[in-house]
Amino acid sequence: MIELAAFDVAGTTVQEYGAVYVALREAVEAAGATPGTGDIDRSMGADKREAIHALLGGPSPETVEDVFADFHRRLTSAYAARKPEPLPGVEKAFAVLRAAGVKVALTTGFDRSITEALLGLLGWDSAVVDAVVCADDVAAGRPAPYMVFRAMELTRVHAASSVLTAGDTVLDLRAGTNAGAGFVVGVLTGSMNAAQLGGERHTHLLPGVADVPALLGLGG
């Protein structure tokens, strides 16, 4: 019995047109880095400060904060130019899950300020999800399992075996596996394909979050 479904945000529940990774690339390039496509791919789903630190090769904490501020400005501008929106069927899936007694949490590599602004654009609040966990709420971002554990704490779910995690990146799957989640679901609504996600430990690959209720035997 699944008691908690913990979903990633960008690319999993929210269509933001890849703006986060464009902003990340531009910010680290402005700081002098020359990341390849593989470097950016490895940052997908990660805490963005941790990603910046890795992409810049271990700079000072002050430099990381400066580049993160630049990333934040670029992403905010991108979201203002092209408003993010829920991916198809996501809000209905949330409603079906919650009606069946399954708690719904969001976990994200964004910090709290970016997340709150994004959720404000979407109009998502406690009437839509039960908990929101950001990268700066925990000691380490994905692939560490801490955001999943924090979501369990906030929703008072005790057993990791009763948790479903879902995300569109390799790091999402690794975090779910490291948490010992009962269901570790990869979704194909992001930039990674079935071959990329399928190479990681998982329990299911689905076209999108809209298919999660059916996976759990819940009607719509």
Q: Tell me the pLDDT tens digit for each residue of 74-108.
A: 999 999 999 999 999 999 999 999 999 999 999 99
Phi first, then psi, for residue 105 (nearest 5°) are: -125, 150
CA distance 124 to 186: 23
**Does the pLDDT of residue 220 top 90, yes or no?**
no
CA distance 58 to 52: 9
Residues whose CB is less than 8 angstroms from the CB of residue 156 and which lie 6 or more positions away in sequence, other chains included: none
Helix (H) or strand (E) holding 16: none
* CATH of span 19-81: 1.10.150.240
User: pLDDT confidence of 66, banded at 50, 70, 90?
Assistant: very high
CA distance 34 to 38: 11
**Does the pLDDT of residue 219 top 80, yes or no?**
no
Q: Are 25 and 35 in contact (CB under 8 A)?
A: yes
Residues whose CB is less than 8 angstroms from the CB of residue 30 and which lie 6 or more positions away in sequence, other chains included: 67, 70
Using left for φ > 0, alpha for ψ between -120 and 50, and beta otherwise, residue 45 falls in left
Q: Tell me the pLDDT tens digit for each residue of 17-29.
A: 989 989 999 999 9
- According to CATH, where is 3.40.50.1000 located in the chain? 4-15+86-215
* CATH of span 4-15+86-215: 3.40.50.1000
pLDDT at 45: 85
Question: What is the mean pLDDT of the segment spanning 45-73?
Answer: 94
User: pLDDT confidence of 38, banded at 50, 70, 90?
Assistant: confident
- According to CATH, where is 1.10.150.240 located in the chain? 19-81
